[in-house]
Structure 1
């Protein structure tokens, strides 16, 4: 498409292309030229002008910009694959192998690896090489995909490999559905889920907010071992659901030293009497703690890792069955070295829990309650279609639509996950008749694939909590894992509490701490409020 042949384009697009066509290496430099070619190629591609798009990408040399050269090669290969020119696509994509060492370039290689697993390619050994190059930024996913490549490469295990691939892709889809999105739905609105509360006692709050001369305080926020939770069904509900087990008898969580979970719990209910009574206890006295309400900045907003950052594998795990010797601890974003040489976990995403009833098909996603909107907006009104309406009611209705859509998406994906799990278990049993070792390896892979969801599925008996979780899974041998009182395993979280607090609610039996908390937070804009809940102290 030349400058003279753009009369059918809208004026804005035509001006963009004309401007990009004027960028040259000689006048503007190699980097600017490469960026212009990428932008121009994307415009042409969106206009369905594939030839011009391909030519734009093909104009970029390695010497212009390595990252943009790799992006161009990726795009060109994708267009060739779209035209069923698979051998040519493979050849173009091979140009990015062995190049680059950044999140962006690893992401391109990772996407090529995933594409090569599709039936149209079936290039499993080739795909494995791309996952090896992407593993530093996509450790969990690349690890699972490599194992799947091994299954797909074996004609006897190919069916199990395809079903494992479906299970992994569906698991990753569900994780994205459950991950909290703190971004507003428009420039005029704030995200209704932008703040989360964590209930704790006043002693812990003091450690998190106080400072002292020797620098030992404030303490860092902790993610504690999953073995401390009060729900004996933790870690078992997901597999029980997938197996179709409908019962309410549970047992203690399995202890896995190689892949051990650490969690911290948050809720959309910032001022809940029940949660004050359960989790805000000081010296075993009910409702004597606080609710710390965090801003979105406390959590991971932009993943600098690329893959799932809350799964951190260690290279020295000795397990022949797991075969994860190629994995390394993520040194880019899962951990951070402090000045005191302690290793801390970097900012992590937070995900809503899902409540299911083992005896029925009931499912509910953690969400805000209607009352929280009335507490937030009070008597404010808003004009909707020329009619004045309660802002609380309007915001609740809009939020309910959002949650309903997310629930439908989750339910559909969860049903598919179950049917896929059932089919792979059936295939695994058939394999066991001839090859028990391979069957056992498939069983281990299935459990590893489901790991990101394992601690997000909770019993419906706890649904009042409307819990969201930060989960971190690693080996107990990892340098970030600490122990206190000879029994409490935990990891420390890098984000500072005081800088990311929005508000503190004081429980009904902790009002005596109001002045002290005001002093601790005197140089901040953190609001302090007494709980609105009535409570008779005994």
Structure 2
């Protein structure tokens, strides 16, 4: 029997489900997979399925708030220029190629230490691309987008919501913020902006910054409290019904890739995640290490930051952008101003030197 608190939480979940039913159109594939389950009548599967929807809804980056309008993707100069010249497309990489060996395992470690080895995922592969609320981060410039292993030699591509929406009413793909979780204590923190970015946006500290930050902080805290309660409920279910790893994988699916180890919290990451079925012989992407993403690149790239070690290439980057007629508005280009003494500077691309 479920205890009184569990029943109360379940009532809240079901009420939320019907209040948000108009949003279920975004979860059509989730619904089909769930209904195809031979054990879909089990109450634990039903609650886990609803929980998955609520988790994704709480983590969804809608861009309809004045607090979150842009996200950045760090890459090297070579890839950035190939994208601008249309010699390649934006890609989602297979989760097996990520730099974190614990990808997709943090949620199961929290749920009674159910560990995922990914060996059971034989019918599908997951692909993702990473973005961040930190558009101009010294740490991320040092870690990501390096060319020839030179720190701070990459670029930060800053996109507005048009990259994730075909127009004002039709989404191209959903973007979700990550949850940073400590499996032992259950403490979580949601990816979000930090206060300094608000100060930069206002071009100085003032009372308006404090008021704006206060409202944003309350919004994130509301989502955090909701998700803490939801995760407690999921852990209760997995314990009471002895839910197994394969069952969680089937129902929770790609949601597990939104949970990250707490040590990565400074990255303030959000992700696009897509599932590809290996059983579908028509889907040639199943044998690939990436999927192509067709976001509106040229109408959504609003800013481009250049890492300190790549500053000599700024004029070259600017020229490539100016020669691309598809830009309706030229992206703003800026060299990262962080006080970092580069040991080595990027001098060339594809054998062409810039001095």
Using structure 2 for the length normalisation, give the TM-score. Answer: 0.81
- Of residues 296, 314, 322 in structure 2, which corresponds to 1:514? 314
Q: Where does residue 411 of structure 1 map in the other structure?
A: 228
Q: What SS does the aligned partner of 1:238 have?
A: helix
Q: What SS does the aligned partner of 1:223 have?
A: strand
**CA distance 1:405–1:457, change in 2 (3 Å):** same
The answer to whether 1:526 aligns with 2:331 is yes
The answer to whether 1:143 aligns with 2:143 is no
Q: What SS does the aligned partner of 1:264 have?
A: strand
- Of residues 212, 223, 230 in structure 1, which corresponds to 2:92? 223
Shift of 1:164: 1.2
Q: How does 1:86-235 map to 2 (within 5 A)?
A: 138-147=28-37, 152=41, 161-184=42-65, 191-210=66-85, 217-235=86-104
The answer to whether 1:368 aligns with 2:193 is yes
**CA distance 1:300–1:204, change in 2 (3 Å):** same
Q: How does 1:89-488 map to 2 (within 5 A)?
A: 138-147=28-37, 152=41, 161-184=42-65, 191-210=66-85, 217-244=86-113, 253-254=118-119, 256-300=121-165, 347-379=172-204, 381=206, 389=207, 391-425=208-242, 444-476=246-278, 477=281, 479=283, 481=285
Q: CA contact under 8 A between 2:110 and 2:183: conserved in structure 1?
A: yes
Shift of 1:424: 2.3
Moved more, 508-517 or 470-479: 470-479
Q: What SS does the aligned partner of 1:198 have?
A: strand
Q: CA contact under 8 A between 2:110 and 2:184: conserved in structure 1?
A: no
Shift of 1:147: 2.2
**CA distance 1:238–1:380, change in 2 (3 Å):** closer
**CA distance 1:139–1:461, change in 2 (3 Å):** same
Q: Where does residue 62 of structure 1 map in the other structure?
A: none
**CA distance 1:252–1:424, change in 2 (3 Å):** closer
Q: What SS does the aligned partner of 1:138 have?
A: helix
The total of aligned residue pairs comes to 316
Q: Where does residue 10 of structure 1 map in the other structure?
A: none
Distance 1:367 1:146 in 2: 35
Q: Where does residue 350 of structure 2 map in the other structure?
A: none
Distance 1:262 1:450 in 2: 15
Tell me: higher relative CO, structure 1 or 2? Use CA pairs within 8 A at least 6 residues apart: 2
**CA distance 1:519–1:482, change in 2 (3 Å):** farther
Distance 1:287 1:362 in 2: 32
Q: What SS does the aligned partner of 2:340 have?
A: coil
Shift of 1:479: 2.7
**CA distance 1:414–1:509, change in 2 (3 Å):** same
Task: Show structure 1 runs of 5+ residues with no match.
Answer: 1-113, 116-133, 153-160, 185-190, 211-216, 306-345, 382-388, 429-441
Distance 1:151 1:258 in 2: 19
**CA distance 1:255–1:220, change in 2 (3 Å):** farther
Distance 1:288 1:493 in 2: 25
Cα RMSD, aligned residues only: 2.9
Distance 1:517 1:162 in 2: 56
Q: Where does residue 82 of structure 1 map in the other structure?
A: none
Q: How does 1:61-100 map to 2 (within 5 A)?
A: none
Q: Deviations over 1:220-250 (max 9, x none)?
A: 10000111111111111111211246xxxx8
Task: Show structure 2 runs of 5+ residues with no match.
Answer: 1-16, 19-23, 344-355
Distance 1:482 1:251 in 2: 21
Using structure 1 for the length normalisation, give the TM-score. Answer: 0.54
Q: Where does residue 351 of structure 2 map in the other structure?
A: none
Shift of 1:262: 0.5
Distance 2:62 2:88 in 1: 28
Q: Deviations over 1:293-321 (max 9, x none)?
A: 0011101478999xxxxxxxxxxxxxxxx
Shift of 1:143: 2.5
Distance 2:320 2:246 in 1: 49
Distance 1:172 1:137 in 2: 7
